[in-house]
Amino acid sequence: MTLPELYLALLIGGTVLLASIAAARTAHRVGLPSLLLFLAVGVVAGEDGLGLKFDDAQLAQALGTAALGVILVEGGLTTQWTNVRRLLAPAAVLATAGVAISVVVTAAGAHYLLGMDWHLALLVGAIVSSTDAAAVFAVLRALPLPHKVTALVEAESGFNDAPTIILVLVFSTASADLPGPLPLVGNLIYQLAVGGTLGVLIGRLGALALRRIALPATGLYPLATVGFGIIAFAAAGAVNASGIIAAYLSGLVLGNSKLPHRAATRSFAEGAAWLAQIGLFVMLGLLVDPSELPSAIIPALVVGLVLLLVARPVSVLLCLLPFRVPWREQTFISWAGLRGAVPIVLTTFPIVEGITGARDALNIVFVLVVLFTLIQGPTLPAVAKRLGLTRAEALRDVQVESAPLDVLDADLLTVAIPKGSRLHGVAVFELRLPPPTVVTLIVRDGTTLVPDRDTVLRAGDELLLITTPDTHEAAERRLRAVGRGGKLARWLGETGAPELEHPMTSARNE
């Protein structure tokens, strides 16, 4: 590549990136998932639009898989272990048995309603069977839902990519080479067990190293943290195990360890994940040929309706039956099975292997993702409200970030008091924070003031507190408790526990 060609490529890439960021803002304002507009940017920039030619399925497969690894590392880093630890069993069942049920039911619908041969029907069923981590993380975290509902769908999305990819790889071979049930189950167990083990081990190794090694610059900590997640992803893939599950679990371990500069790490990982999502969706938009899409609309509608109205509800019902999940939550989980980049990336596998009908499968899956994201994404808030799952108080919980003060072995907490929080009207001494935690500064209406014990807090205030690593969690709990129950929170039985541990959770959700 010559220097002028490099400048032109960077100019085009930067323009597409900024257009995608503008699209993300527009999507957020109108309530649409960003992935739709990212795909649209890719389609507009493609051969039938601005003329950019991209039809290398093998390159798309490689880059797409790498992007999924980055997205899942970020998903693990930003997932709270306290929210998912009690949900590992139902999430694992949904991610394995649920995927298998969805594949069979969706394939049966495609075979009997559209006349697809069983091989292609099973391939399409496997491609669309998993919920998409990027779509789920982006949409559900903006909704005021019970933490256990959000955490269950997020954990399922983080885990189910691995079984799905294994099934797609199996069905991307010739019909005569399809393995029997026992080799398939053995391969699945190997990939999940080895990938999961490597993810946890590398995550723990990374946490140990980052706590003990003093790096020369703050910006190196986020790089190193994400780097350990990428190593886990690559190491698992190198031994033919699941790099996807390794990436998610390593991020989960690292994100829930007491590491330096956690807030900066989360911000960096979020930015990296956004960049991966933008590049991934734009690339997939470039990969499709818009002139071929109209013929895929009817098959996509049929497959999508079977998946949304039959396969997904049946799999959720059967998988969650032993866990006594209330029917309202089951209904929402069924509707929240969002599809996104993962199915489109998976269509590149049979294309690379030269499977008959693979290009048609790409068009069907692309149209399905677009149509049903338009149907499911914007309606999720209304569905949650209709089912009585919306928690108004979720938007009033204080948001706490921390940055370690290495020299003092202390943590700096920043607390924003939102409208509706019962911290409004509480004096500093009435917080009764665990010693030696102190409120050091209040930012109010653009000005700063140093509070004394009688200073009264107001909605809109931003507080800076100094605490120690040992009292960090207790301070956060006390702030949440007062934010929910006011100055008499302790007398009212409010402990400030995360929603999943809150004693009122099950009664309220039932």
353 and 488 in a single domain? The answer is no
443 and 379 in a single domain? The answer is no
239 and 150 in a single domain? The answer is yes
131 and 221 in a single domain? The answer is yes
pLDDT for 410: 77
Q: Helix 181-212 vs helix 220-238: angle between axes, to the nearest 10 degrees?
A: 160
Q: Which CATH number do you get for residue 280?
A: 1.20.1530.20
Task: Assess whether pLDDT exceeds 90 at residue 318.
Answer: yes
Q: What is the pLDDT of residues 440-472, one digit of tens each?
A: 999 998 888 999 999 999 998 999 999 888 888
Give Cα separations from 186 to 22, 128, 198, 237, 486 (angstroms).
46, 23, 18, 17, 55
How far is residue 367's CA from residue 372's CA, in Å, rounded to a whole number?
A: 8
Q: Which of 390, 412, 433 is the last residue of a domain?
A: 390
Give ∠ CA 410-256-252 in degrees, rounded to 5: 155
332 and 474 in a single domain? The answer is no
The answer to whether the CB of 450 falls within 8 A of the CB of 440 is yes
418 and 356 in a single domain? The answer is no
Single out the residue of 222, 234, 56, 244 nearest to residue 168, CA to CA. Answer: 244
Q: How is residue 288 annotated by DSSP? A: S
Task: Assess whether pLDDT exceeds 70 at residue 308.
Answer: yes
Give Cα separations from 390 to 130, 140, 146, 384, 473 (angstroms).
25, 12, 7, 6, 26
pLDDT confidence tier of residue 324, bands split at 50, 70 and 90: confident
- Per the structure, how many domains does the chain have? 2
pLDDT confidence tier of residue 227, bands split at 50, 70 and 90: very high
Contacts of 43 (CB under 8 A, 6+ apart): 49, 285, 286, 288, 290
**Encoded amino acid at 412, one letter:** L
Q: Which of 359, 390, 421 is the last residue of a domain?
A: 390
Average pLDDT, whole number, for the chain?
A: 82
pLDDT for 508: 30
263 and 159 in a single domain? The answer is yes
235 and 329 in a single domain? The answer is yes
pLDDT for 452: 92
Structure tokens at 336: 């929240």
Least confident of 81-85, 417-421, 480-484, 500-504: 500-504
Task: Assess whether pLDDT exceeds 60 at residue 503.
Answer: no
pLDDT for 205: 94
Contacts of 453 (CB under 8 A, 6+ apart): 427, 428, 429
The answer to whether position 202 is within a domain reads yes
By residue range, what is the domain housing residue 304? 16-390
pLDDT for 124: 92
Least confident of 143-157, 184-198, 285-299, 356-370: 143-157
482 and 347 in a single domain? The answer is no
Q: Where do the DSSP E strands lie in 394-509? A: 399-405, 410-416, 438-444, 447-449, 462-467
348 and 492 in a single domain? The answer is no
The answer to whether position 293 is within a domain reads yes
pLDDT for 79: 79
Task: Assess whether pLDDT exceeds 60 at residue 3.
Answer: yes
271 and 408 in a single domain? The answer is no
Task: Assess whether pLDDT exceeds 80 at residue 479.
Answer: yes
Q: What is the mean pLDDT of residues 147-153?
A: 82
How far is residue 303's CA from residue 198's CA, in Å, rounded to a whole number?
A: 36
**Encoded amino acid at 260, one letter:** P
How far is residue 243's CA from residue 230's CA, in Å, rounded to a whole number?
A: 9
Maximum alpha-carbon separation in the chain: 79
pLDDT confidence tier of residue 27, bands split at 50, 70 and 90: low
pLDDT for 184: 75
The answer to whether position 230 is within a domain reads yes
pLDDT confidence tier of residue 175, bands split at 50, 70 and 90: low
Q: Which CATH number do you get for residue 479?
A: 3.30.70.1450
Q: Which of 390, 416, 431 is the last residue of a domain?
A: 390
The answer to whether position 3 is within a domain reads no
pLDDT confidence tier of residue 221, bands split at 50, 70 and 90: confident
pLDDT for 72: 85
314 and 445 in a single domain? The answer is no
The answer to whether position 7 is within a domain reads no
The answer to whether position 126 is within a domain reads yes
Q: What is the mean pLDDT of residues 254-270?
A: 83
The answer to whether position 434 is within a domain reads yes
Contacts of 425 (CB under 8 A, 6+ apart): 456, 457, 458, 486
**Encoded amino acid at 51, one letter:** G
The answer to whether position 5 is within a domain reads no
Single out the residue of 353, 341, 380 nearest to residue 140, CA to CA. Answer: 380
Strands 447-449 and 462-467: unpaired
